[in-house]
Structure 1
Amino acid sequence: MMPAAVLFVLFCLVFSGCAPNNDLLNLTVPASVQVEQFNPETGPCDDQFITHDLPHITTTADGIIRMYEANGSGVAINDLDNDGDLDLVLGNYDKPNSIFWNEGDLNFRQEQMPVGRTRAVTAVDVDGDGWTDLALTRVGGAINFWRNRGDDLAAGVPGRFVQEFVNGLAKPAYAMDWADLDADGDLDAVTASYDIGLLTELGNEYLLRDEAGVYIHWNEPGRFRAQRLAEEAQALAIALWDEDGDGRLDLLVGNDFALPDQFWRNNADGWQLASIFPETTHSTMSFDLADVDNSGRTALFASDMKPPDMNPETMRAWAPLMEAEHPPLPAGDPQRMENMLLVADQGGGFQNLGRDRQLDATGWSWASLFGDLDQDGRLDLYIVNGFAESTTFAHMEDHELVERNQALRNTGGRFERMPDWGLGSERGGRGAAQGDLDGDGDLDIVVNNLRGNAQLFENRLCGGASLQVELRQPGSSNPAAIGATAILETPDGRLRRDVRVTRGYLSSDPGQLHFGFPAETQPRLLLVRWPDGKWSTVSSPAPGQRLTVYRTDLGQK
C-alpha cells in the first residue's frame, strides 16, 4: 500500500473531485500480487498479423442465408480450465458450438457442445465459484446456461460443463451482459430481445407470450427476479457503464432498424429512461467503450452500416439496400446511418466525433473492438464487416456483400486504416473477441465468420511493450471483479481499462486487462478501483509481466 497522502494526490489527478483524508483512508484495501513473465517470442516479428483458420464454420441448415439467419453468432475468450491459458468458445447457428481448449503455442483441442442456434456467447463466473461458466442466447429462446464443473476435474470426472436450468432466466434474449447492478456483491444479468426475429421464428406465439423487451434479472438466493424496463426491443448490443459517475452502472441498449437506442440511468430510486446523445446510430450493430485519447473520459463507439467509400462499384452493390431498407429519416430524427464515436464534453453532454476522427464509414459493420494492437499507448479499433442474405443481395454473387474487415490505428487524434496489418479478411465475420492467446503479451483476435472458417489472427506486429493485469476477489460472489477499473500511471499519462463481460457484437473478452506502451516506458503506479469503490495500488509494475492482483480483505468463501 502507498501512503494516504500520495493516494490522495493521485485520486485528485484521476478524478474531478477529492474526498477528505479520513474518507480516503476508509476507501483503501490491501492486495497481494502474483507475477508471471510473458512467454518469449518464438521468432522475429513480422510487422503484421498471421492468419490461422479454425475448424469451425457457422452456417445454416441448407447453406442459404435468409433474413435474420444472416446475423450470425458470437465468440468468447476466457480461461475455462484455470490453467493460465485463454480458451475459445464459438457459437454456431445450425451446427454445434465449439470449445477450443488452449494447449499452448496456439495449439487447440476442439470439443463440440451439443447445442446450436446460438447468438450471444459470454464466458462469466455466474455462481462465483472461481470457474468460468457459459451463458448463451439462442434463436427464439432464453439464456442457455452451462455451469463449469471444473472442481470435478481434480477427481478425474470427465466433462467440464453441465447444462442447467436457472430459475428466473426465462425471458427471450438476443443480447445480454452481466454485472453487479445493485452493489450486493453478486452478478445480475441484463437481456434484450430481437423482436423482428422472434416474430419470424415464433409467429403468433411471440405475440401471445408478451415477454419480449429489455429486462434486468436480479440475482437473488436460488433464483433470478426479472424486472421489465421496456416492452419492445430490436437489440443487437448492450453496454453497461457508469455514465454519470455516481458509482452505479447505467444501461444502453442498441436497437436495429428504426427503433431508437434506449438509455436508462441507474438511480438510487430505480431505473430512469433518459436521452443523453445528440445523435445515435440508426441500426446499431455493436458497442465498445474506451478512453480513446487517454483523457480519463469514456467514449462510446457504435457501429452501423455505411459504404466505406464512394467508388461506383461500391455504390452499385449498396444501392438496392439503400433504396429498399433505408428511406430518408424525418426531420429532427437523431438517428444517422453511420458509425459514431460519442465522447463526453465539458458541459456534461456528448458530441459525436465519428466523422471528425474518420470512423463514420467502414461498411456493413458488425463487431467493433478497441485494443492497443501495436502497443504504442493508444487504443486502436478493429471492425468486422460484410453481409450475406438471399433476397437483399440477390443481385450479388453468392448473395453476399463482400467487404474487408478494417483495422484502424489510433494516431493520437485520428484513426488511420492499416491494410498492411493483415487484418483485412473478407470472410463475412460477425462476432469477434480479443485476448493474448499465445501468452507473449500482445492482443490476438478471433472472428466467428458466417459460411467460412473462423479465424485466429496472431499478433506479430513489431515494437512496443505491455503489462497485463488480472483482478481477483477471493471470498466474493464476484471473484473476477467484473465492474472494476485499473489505471496505469506512466510518464506519458494515464491508461485506463475496465473489467467488463460483453464487448462488441454478441461476444465477450477475458478479464485480462492489456496495457500497451512504447518499449522505453517504465510504469510508475497501478491503481485498482474494485467494484465496491474501494482502492488498491501496486507500485512500479514492470513491463513484460502479467500481474494477478488479489484483494485480501474479503476472506474465503
Structure 2
Amino acid sequence: MQRGDRTVNAYRNGQSVSPMLSLSQSDHAGRRRTAVRINTGSRMLPAAVLFALFALVFSGCAPNYDLLNLTAPASVQVEQFSPEAGLCADQFITHDLPHITTTVDGIIRMYEANGAGVAINDLDNDGDLDLVLGNYDNPNSIFWNLGNLNFRQEPMPVGRTRAVTAVDVDGDGWTDLALTRVGGAINFWRNRGAELAADAPGRFVQEFVSGLAKPAYAMDWADLDADGDLDAVTASYDIGLLTELGNEYLLKDEAGVYIHWNEAGEFRAQRLAEEAQALAIALWDEDGDGRLDLLVGNDFALPDQFWRNHADGWQLASIFPETTHSTMSFDLADVDNSGRTALFASDMKPPDTNPETMRAWAPLMEAEHPPLPAGDPQRMENMLLVADKDGAFRNLGRDRQLDATGWSWASLFGDLDQDGQLDLYIVNGFAESTTFAHMDDHELVEQNQVLRNTGGRFERMPDWGLGSERGGRGAAQGDLDGDGDLDIVVNNLRGNAQLFENRLCGGASLQVALRQPGSANPAAIGATAFLETPAGRLRRDVRVTRGYLSSDPGQLHFGFPAETQPRLLLIRWPDGQWSTVSGPAPGQRLTVSRTDLGQE
C-alpha cells in the first residue's frame, strides 16, 4: 500500500480531517524495508555467561559466539535507512505545525501556564511515527505521518489536556492514547486498529477503563508486579485541583500518588501518598533488584518523593543529598557511558547574571521564592544526580554546568549529533498574567537550550538551530522522516507547535524496536538494550514517559561515529530473559521479536 494513498481515519463523531500538511523541503530517502529474518537461540542467558560476554567485548577480545545460542528465542527483521546526500545543514530546520495550545481568551492565568504534552509513536502500524499534541482550550491534534515529513492533521475531541502518553494498554498490538486532564481522571482512547481495515474510519474510540478514576496530572506506565501486563502510576497536582474544584476537591479526598494495578484489564488503585504537586514521574530500577522503583517530582515546596519497590510493598526512602525545589521534568540516561544511570531534573534558575535577565527574574525571586532554611535539601536549580559504585548519589549539575538553563520545562537526553554521547535538550520560558505582570505580554521570553555531551560534560550549541523562544512545555524525540537521526517536536503555549528536523548529518545510527507478540506488553516496556561497540557499551531503555508530560516512541536510537562497526546487541527483556543479535550494521532499523510468547 502506498502511504500517499492512505485515507486517515476520522473519529466516530464525524469530525473532519484536515488536508495533508507537507513539511519537507526536498525528497527524503527514507527506509528500504527488507524481509531479512535471523533466528536466535532458545535459552535464557545465565548471569555468569553474560558477565563473561561483557568482559570479552569490553576488553576488546573477540567473544565466543557459541555463547549467543544461550538466549530467549527471537527473530529479527531488518530495514535499511540511508540519509539523503545534499540535505545537510549542520543544524536543525524548524517547521511550524498548525497546532496552538491556548486558553479561551489567550490570557494565561495561574496554572493554565503549565501547558500540555506531546507523544510520538506509530499509531497505525505503518512504520512511520505519528504525533499527538495536547491542547487546553482547543481540541487535541493527531498528525498522521504519511512519509517524507508529510502529515495529515486530525482534530481529537476533548481538550484541557495535560499529559499525553501513547501506550498499548490492552496489549492488542495497537498503540492506545492515555491523557490526563485538568481536574479529572485519565482520558483513555482505545486504538481499534485490530478490528478495522487499514482505511476504515473510527481509529480511536473513547472508553471508560474500570479503576482509572483518580485525579491525575503526571502519569507513567510499566509492568510493576512482573505479571506481564502494564500497570499505571498517576499523581495529582493538588494546587491546580484546589483552584479548579475548590471544596469539591477537599471533600472527595482522592488526590495524591497512586499505583493502578492491572488485573485482567481492570485496575485496582493503591494509594501511596495523600498529596502531590506532581509535574513529573520517573520509573527505573534504582537498586538493581529487578523491580522498578518510583520517583515523583513535585512543584513548589512539597519535596520530591521516592519509593522503593520491595517484594513486600512500596517503601518511602531518602536517597538524594539534594533535590530540585520546583521539579518540572525528569529524564534518565547513562550520560558518560559508564553503565550508571543518571537522573536529570529540571527546575527554574536564571540562565545568566546579565542585568536584563536579573531584572526580569528579580520580582519573582523576591515575592515567591524566599531563601530556603538551612539544611533543606531542596535547591532551585537543575540537578544531575549520579550514583557512585556504592550506590550513593551526588549532584553533578553545577559541576557539569547544567544547573542554570532558565525557567525550564521538558528535558530530554538524546544523541542528536550521533557521536555516541547523549546530548541534552531543554525547553524554556514562562507566561502568566500576574507572575510576570511587569513583562511585555506577561511573558518571560527565553531560548530553549541544547547542550552537547563531550564525554560526560556539556557545552551549549547555539548554532544547532534549537534556540526557539516560543515558550514550549512538552517535548518528544523520534525519527520522523526515516533518515536515522532524532528529530524533536515541542508543544508551545500561545504559539504554533514546532517540529525540528535534524539536518546535522553527524555520525551513523542503529535503531531497535523490541516486540513481544502474544504478550500483554507487546512493545516490551521495561526492556533494556546494550550495544557493544569498539569504543564501549551504549545503553537504552524502553520507557513510556519522559521529560514533561510527554512520551517518546519505544524505538531505541543508538548513535555513534560514522566509522564505528557495532559488534553485538544484547537485549534484556522485561521478564529478565536475554536475546542477542551479532554484527548489527549502521543504517539499520532492527525489529527484534520474541517468538516464545505467542504467534507473530
TM interval, shorter chain, is over 0.9
The more displaced of 380-389 and 30-39 is 30-39
Greater CA drift, 484-493 or 325-334: 325-334
Which sits farther off after the overlay, 105-114 or 145-154?
A: 145-154
Equivalent-residue separation in structure 1 for 2:146 and 2:550 (angstroms): 22
Instruction: Report the CA distance shift for 1:439/1:292 in structure 2 as closer, same or farther (over 3 A).
Output: same
8 Å contact 2:76–2:591 — kept in the other structure? yes
Q: Deviations over 1:96-130 (max 9, x none)?
A: 00000000110100000111000000000000000
| Cα drift, residue 325 of structure 1 | 1.1
Distance change >3 Å, CA 306–CA 521, structure 1 → 2: same
Determine whether 1:313 maps to 2:348.
no
Q: Is the 8 A contact 2:56 2:63 kept in 1?
A: no
- How far is 1:551 from its partner? 0.9
Deviation per CA, 1:223-255, whole angstroms, max 9, x where unpaired?
A: 100000000000000000000000000000000
d(CA) in 1 for partners of 2:521, 2:233: 16
Task: Extract unaligned runs of 5+ from structure 1.
Answer: none
SS of 1:17's equivalent in the other structure is coil
Distance 2:424 2:154 in 1: 31
Query: Would you say 1:493 and 2:511 are equivalent positions?
Result: no
Residues 133-192 of structure 1, C-alpha deviations (whole Å, 9 max, x = no match): 000000000000000001233175311100000000000000000000000000000000
Deviation at 1:41, TM superposition (A): 1.5
Cα shift at 1:401:
0.1
Measured in 1, the distance between the counterparts of 2:66 and 2:395 equals 37
Check whether the contact 2:170–2:265 (CA below 8 A) recurs between aligned residues. Answer: no
Distance across 2 between alignment mates of 1:319 and 1:283: 17
8 Å contact kept, 1:193–1:235: yes
The answer to whether the 8 Å contact 2:515/2:594 transfers is yes
Q: Name whichever of 27-36 and 222-231 sits farther off.
A: 27-36
> Please, which moves more after superposition, 62-71 or 13-22?
13-22
Q: Cα offset for 1:462?
A: 2.7
RMSD: 2.7
Residue 400 of structure 1 aligns with which residue? Answer: 443
1:6 is displaced (CA, Å) by 6.1
CA distance in 1, matches of 2:549, 2:67: 38
Q: Secondary structure at 2:196's aligned position in 1?
A: helix
1:534 maps to 577
SS at 1:425's partner residue? coil
C-alpha separation in 2, matches of 1:87 and 1:14 = 37
Query: Structure 1 residues 323-332 or 206-215, which shifts more?
Result: 323-332
Q: Give the direction of change, closer, same or farther, for the CA distance of 1:23–1:204 in structure 2 (3 Å limit).
A: farther
Distance 1:155 1:212, change over 3 A: same
1:42 aligns with 2:85: yes
1:254-310 CA distances to partner (integer Å, 9 max, x unpaired)?
000000000000000000000000000000000000000000000000000000000
Q: CA deviation at 1:553?
A: 1.2
Partner SS for 2:216: coil
Aligned-pair identity (%): 92
| CA 1:256–1:338: 2 relative to 1, 3 Å | same
Greater alpha carbon shift after TM alignment, 155-164 vs 120-129: 155-164
Counterpart secondary structure, 1:146: strand
**TM-aligned CA distance change 1:162 to 1:17, over 3 Å:** farther
Q: Secondary structure at the match of 1:316?
A: helix
CA contact (8 A) 2:77 2:591 kept: yes
Distance, in Å, in 2 between the alignment partners of 1:241 and 1:212 is 23
Q: Deviations over 1:508-527 (max 9, x none)?
A: 00000000000000000000
Contact kept? 1:11, 1:18, Cα under 8 Å? no
Please report how far the alpha carbon of residue 8 of structure 1 lies from its aligned counterpart in structure 2 after TM superposition: 4.5
Name the CA shift for 1:549/1:331 in 2 (closer, same or farther; >3 Å). Answer: same
Pairwise CA distance, 1:463: 2.3
Q: Shift in Å at residue 220 of structure 1?
A: 0.5
Q: 1:325 to 1:373 in 2, by over 3 A?
A: same
Q: After alignment, is 365-374 or 221-230 more displaced?
A: 221-230
Aligned CA distance change for structure 1 residues 482 and 13 (closer, same or farther; 3 Å): farther
CA change 1:116–1:553 in 2 (3 A) is same
TM-score normalised to structure 2 length: 0.90
**Alpha-carbon spacing, 1:205–1:290, altered in 2? closer, same or farther (3 Å):** same
- Sort the Cα spacing of 1:111 and 1:26 in 2 relative to 1 into closer, same or farther, 3 A: same
Q: Does 1:517 align with 2:560?
A: yes
Per-residue CA distance 1:25-69 (angstroms, 9 max, x = gap): 998311110000114416331000000000000000011000100
Taking a change above 3 Å as real, the CA distance of residues 273 and 27 of structure 1, as seen in their structure-2 partners, is farther
Structure 1 residues 34, 280: CA separation in 2 closer, same or farther (over 3 Å shift)? same
Q: In terms of mean alpha carbon deviation, does 484-493 or 30-39 score higher?
A: 30-39
Is contact 1:30-1:552 (8 Å) kept? yes
Q: For the structure 1 residues 20 and 445, does the alpha-carbon distance in structure 2 shift closer, same or farther, using more than 3 Å as the test?
A: closer
Deviation of 1:10 (Å): 2.2
Shift of 1:348: 1.6
Q: 1:223 to 1:40 in 2, by over 3 A?
A: same
Cα offset, 1:350, TM superposition: 0.2
Of the three residues 198, 202, 205, the one matched with 2:248 is: 205
Q: Does residue 246 of the first structure (1) align with residue 289 of the second (2)?
A: yes
The count of residues paired between Structure 1 and Structure 2 equals 557
Residue 358 of structure 1 is aligned with which of 376, 401, 407?
A: 401
TM-aligned CA distance change 1:396 to 1:534, over 3 Å: same
Give the counterpart of 2:523 among 480, 490, 505: 480
Q: Is the contact between residue 68 and residue 580 of structure 2 (CA under 8 Å) also seen in structure 1?
A: no
SS at match of 2:147: coil
